[in-house]
Structure 1
Amino acid sequence: MQRTNLGLRIPKGMRDLLPEEIAVQESLEEKILTLFKQWSYQKILTPTLEYSACVQPDVEQEDLLYKFFDREGHILTLRPELTIPIARLVSTRMRGGEFPLRLCYGADVYRNSNVRHREFRQVGVELVGSDQELADAEVIALAVEAIAGLGLKNYQFNLGHMGIFSGLMLEAGVDEGIRVKLEEVLARKDMVGVELCVRQSGLPERVQELLLRLPHFRGGEEILDEVLGWSERPAIREAVESLRTIYRYLEDFGVQANVALDLGILRGFSYYTGAVFEGYVPGIGFPVVEGGRYDALYADFGLPQPATGFAIHLGNLLEQFPLPVVEGADVLVYGSDAQKVIRQCQTLRAQGKKVELALGVSGKETAELAAQLKNIKEILCVE
C-alpha cells in the first residue's frame, strides 16, 4: 500500500541524520566521553521510556512530556532529560555504591516543546554525593574543557546561584504563585514577561528594582560584593559566598577566563537548588550547555544525596562543524564467480578490513567507477 503524504514525513521536531551527520555526531560524542572518562566518570545508560511517576513531579510544564500507555495501563514518558532517570537508577541499583559517584552518559532526550528540535542528543555528567563547592567547580570546569576540546571558539559560560533569587523571594514574602511565574519568565529570559510580572506583583519598590536588575547583572567577582549589600538574609549571603568560592576554584582549574557571573540564570527544571550555569557558542541563541546543583532530588527517591551535573546538547552543535566526506570501504571486491567473491570478502574481513561486495559488477571499468563514487580506496578482482 502506498504511503500517504503524512507517511512520507517525520514528526515535528524530529530529524533524520545522514551518514556524514552521524559521523560528526559520533566523533564529537567520542571526544567528549573520552574526556569525561579521563576525569574518572563512568558511563551508564537508562531506558528511553520511564514511568511518568518518575519524571513528571520535577518537570514544571507537564505538556513538555511525550506520554503513552503500556498494556497494563501505566503512563509512560519519553525521558525529557537524564538527571532524574539517573537519580532513580542510583537510588535503586547503585544505592550501595561508594559515594561520591561520578557518572556520565550519551543518549537521546525528547521534549514536546515549541523549539526547533524535540529530539536531541545529550552528553553529560552527574557527580552524586558531594555538597562541596569544589564539586561544583569540577563539573563546570569539565563542561568548559569539553566545549574547548571540540575546537569551538569564543564560547562563553555564565554562572549563577538559585539561592539569590530564592532569598529575595523569602525576604519580600512573595506568595508561591508569583514566585513560580517570576521564576518561569526569568528562566526563559523573557524580558518583557519579567517586567510585566514584576510590575504587577505588588512587591516593594526596592525588590522590584532588584528583580528587574537580575537578568542584566553579570560580570566578575566584584558584583558579589554589591549583592551582599542587598540583604542580610542568610540564604543570600550563603549563596554569594558559595559562588565566590566556586569562581575562585575555576581560576585554579584554568577556566575562569571563560566564565562570567550572571545572577539572572534560573533553570527550567524545579529540582535545582544551588549554583547553576549555562554555556553558549556563537551562532546559537540558546544554551548548548546547562547544569547546576540539585541537592533535594535524591531525597525524593529515598536516598538523600547532594548532587551536581550538566548536559551538553550535542545535537544542536552539529551545524557548527563541516560535514566530512564519509569514508567508504577499504576495498571493493568483484568478479564473475559469486562464491569466490564471497570467500575473498570474508577472508579480508577476518583481517580487519572494511569490505564491500560488488553487486552486479564484473568489469574493471565499472568497478573503478563504483569505487570512485563510493569513496572506496581499492578494488580487487577475484578470478
Structure 2
Amino acid sequence: MLRTNLGLRIPKGMRDLLPEEISVQEGLEERILELFKQWSYQKVLTPTLEYSACVQPDVEQEDSLYKFFDREGHILTLRPELTIPIARLVSTRMRGGEFPLRLCYGADVYRNSNVRHREFRQVGVELVGSDQELADAEVIALAVEAMAGLGLKNYQFNLGHMGIFAGLMLETGIEKELQAKLEEVLARKDMVGVESCVRQSGLPERVQELLLRLPHFRGGEEILDEVLGWSEQPAIQHAVESLRKIYQYLEDFGVQANVSLDLGILRGFSYYTGAVFEGYVPGIGFPVVEGGRYDDLYADFGVPQPATGFAIHLGNLLEQFPIPVVEGADILVYGSDAKEIIRRCRELRAQGKRVEMSLGVLGDEKAKSMALQKSIKEILRV
C-alpha cells in the first residue's frame, strides 16, 4: 500500500540520523564515557519506558511527557531524563550498594515540548551518597573536562544555587502560586515575564529589586560578599558559603577560569535543592550541559541519599563538529562465482577485515567505480 504524505514524514521534534551523523555522535559519546570511566563512573542503563508514577511527580509540566497505556491499564511514560530513573534503579536493585555511587549513562530522552528536538541523546553522571561541596565540585569539573575533551572552544559554565531564591521567598512569605510563577519565568530567563511578575507581586521594594537583579547578577567570588548583605536568612547564608567552597574547589581542579557565578540560574525540574549549573557553547542559545544537586529525590524512593549530577545534551552538539565522509569497508570482493566470493569474504572477515560482498556479477571498471563511491579502500576480484 502506498504511504500517505504523513507516512513519509517523522513526528515533530524527532530526527533521522545518517551514517555520517551517527559516526560523529557515537564518537563523541565514546570519548565522553571514556572520560567518565577515568573518573571511576560506571555505566548503567534504564528502560526507555517508565511508569508515570516514577517520573511524573518531579516534572514541572505534565504535558511535556509522552504517555501511553499498557495492556493492564497502567500509564507509561517515555523517560524525559535519566536522573529519576537512576534514582529508582539505585533505590531498588542497587539498594545495598557501597555509597557514594558514581554512575554514568548514554541514552535517548523524550520531551513533548516546544523545543527544536523532542528526542535527543544525553550522556551524564550521577554521584549519589555525598552531601559534600567537594562532590558538587567534582561533577562540575568533570563536565568542564568533558567539553574540553571534545575540543570545543570558548565554552562557558555558569554556577548558581537554588537556596538564594528559596531564601528570598522564605523571607517574604510569598504565596506558593506566585513563587512558582516567578521560578518559572526566572528558569526560562524570560526577562519580560520576570519584570511583569515582580512588579505585580506586591513584594517589598527591596525584594523586588533583588529579584530583578538575579538574572543579571554574575561574576566571580566577589559577588558572594554582596549577597551576604542581602539577608540574614539561613538559607541564603548557607547557599553563599556552599557556593564559595565549591568555587574554591574548582580552582584546585584547574577549571575555575571556565566557570562564572550566576545567581539567576534555576533548573526546570522540581527536585533540585542546592548548587545548579549550566554549560554553553558559542552558536547555541540554550544550555548544552545542565546539572545540580538534588538531595531530596531519593527520599521519595524510600532510600534517602544526597546526590548531584549533570547531563550533556549530545544531540544538540552535533552541529558543532564537521560531518566527515563515512569510512567504507576495507575491501570489496567481486567476481562471477558466488560460491568463491562467499568463501573469500569469510576468510577476510575471519582476519578482522571489514568486507563488502558483491551481490551480482561486476566488471573491473564497475567495481572500481563502486569502491570509489563507497569509500572502499581496496578491491579484490576472485
Name the TM-score class by shorter chain. over 0.9
Could you tell me which residue of structure 1 aligns to residue 9 of structure 2? 9
- Say if 1:219 and 1:261, in contact at 8 Å, map to a contact too: yes
SS of 2:107 mapped into structure 1: strand
Could you tell me which residue of structure 1 aligns to residue 124 of structure 2? 124
**Are 1:379 and 2:370 an aligned pair?**
no
**Are 1:267 and 2:263 an aligned pair?**
no
- 1: CA distance between counterparts of 2:226 and 2:156? 23
Could you tell me which residue of structure 2 aligns to residue 253 of structure 1? 253
**Are 1:230 and 2:230 an aligned pair?**
yes
- 2: CA distance between counterparts of 1:345 and 1:201? 74
Name the amino acid aligned to 1:61: Q
- 1: CA distance between counterparts of 2:87 and 2:381? 56
Name the amino acid aligned to 1:83: T
**Are 1:186 and 2:186 an aligned pair?**
yes
- 1: CA distance between counterparts of 2:120 and 2:338? 43
Unaligned stretches of 5+ residues in structure 1: none
- Say if 1:228 and 1:236, in contact at 8 Å, map to a contact too: yes
Could you tell me which residue of structure 1 aligns to residue 199 of structure 2? 199
SS of 1:166 mapped into structure 2: helix
- 1: CA distance between counterparts of 2:92 and 2:185? 35
How many angstroms does 1:300 deviate by?
Answer: 0.1
SS of 1:168 mapped into structure 2: helix
How many angstroms does 1:365 deviate by?
Answer: 1.1
Alignment deviations for residues 144-183 of structure 1 (CA, whole Å, 9 cap, x no partner)? 0000110110000000000000000000111110111100
- 1: CA distance between counterparts of 2:346 and 2:131? 55
- 1: CA distance between counterparts of 2:197 and 2:58? 23
Could you tell me which residue of structure 2 aligns to residue 69 of structure 1? 69
- 2: CA distance between counterparts of 1:111 and 1:279? 20
Alignment deviations for residues 236-274 of structure 1 (CA, whole Å, 9 cap, x no partner)? 000000000000000000000000000000000000000
**Are 1:110 and 2:115 an aligned pair?**
no
Could you tell me which residue of structure 1 aligns to residue 83 of structure 2? 83
Within a 5 Å distance, the mapping from 1:1-383 to structure 2 comes to 1-382=1-382
- 1: CA distance between counterparts of 2:342 and 2:359? 11
Alignment deviations for residues 92-146 of structure 1 (CA, whole Å, 9 cap, x no partner)? 0001000000000000000001011000000000000000000000000000000
- Say if 2:336 and 2:360, in contact at 8 Å, map to a contact too: no
- Say if 1:136 and 1:308, in contact at 8 Å, map to a contact too: yes
- Say if 1:335 and 1:341, in contact at 8 Å, map to a contact too: yes
- 2: CA distance between counterparts of 1:233 and 1:72? 50
- Say if 1:361 and 1:367, in contact at 8 Å, map to a contact too: no
With structure 1 as the length reference, what TM-score do the two structures score?
A: 0.99
Name the amino acid aligned to 2:133: E
SS of 2:311 mapped into structure 1: strand
Name the amino acid aligned to 1:70: D
Unaligned stretches of 5+ residues in structure 2: none
How many angstroms does 1:361 deviate by?
Answer: 3.6
Name the amino acid aligned to 2:5: N
- 1: CA distance between counterparts of 2:106 and 2:183? 29
Aligned residues: percent identity? 88
SS of 2:56 mapped into structure 1: helix
How many angstroms does 1:363 deviate by?
Answer: 1.3
Q: What is the number of residues matched between the two proteins?
A: 382
- 1: CA distance between counterparts of 2:193 and 2:233? 27
How many angstroms does 1:341 deviate by?
Answer: 0.3
Name the amino acid aligned to 2:6: L
How many angstroms does 1:364 deviate by?
Answer: 1.1
- 2: CA distance between counterparts of 1:346 and 1:301? 52
- 2: CA distance between counterparts of 1:293 and 1:31? 25
How many angstroms does 1:22 deviate by?
Answer: 0.3
Name the amino acid aligned to 2:11: P
Name the amino acid aligned to 2:312: I
User: Which portions of structure 1, spanning 4 or more consecutive aligned residues, are displaced by more than 4 angstroms?
Assistant: none
How many angstroms does 1:362 deviate by?
Answer: 2.5
How many angstroms does 1:64 deviate by?
Answer: 0.4
Alignment deviations for residues 23-63 of structure 1 (CA, whole Å, 9 cap, x no partner)? 00000000000000000000000000000000000001000
RMSD over equivalenced CA pairs, Å: 0.5
- 1: CA distance between counterparts of 2:34 and 2:347? 33
- 2: CA distance between counterparts of 1:350 and 1:69? 47
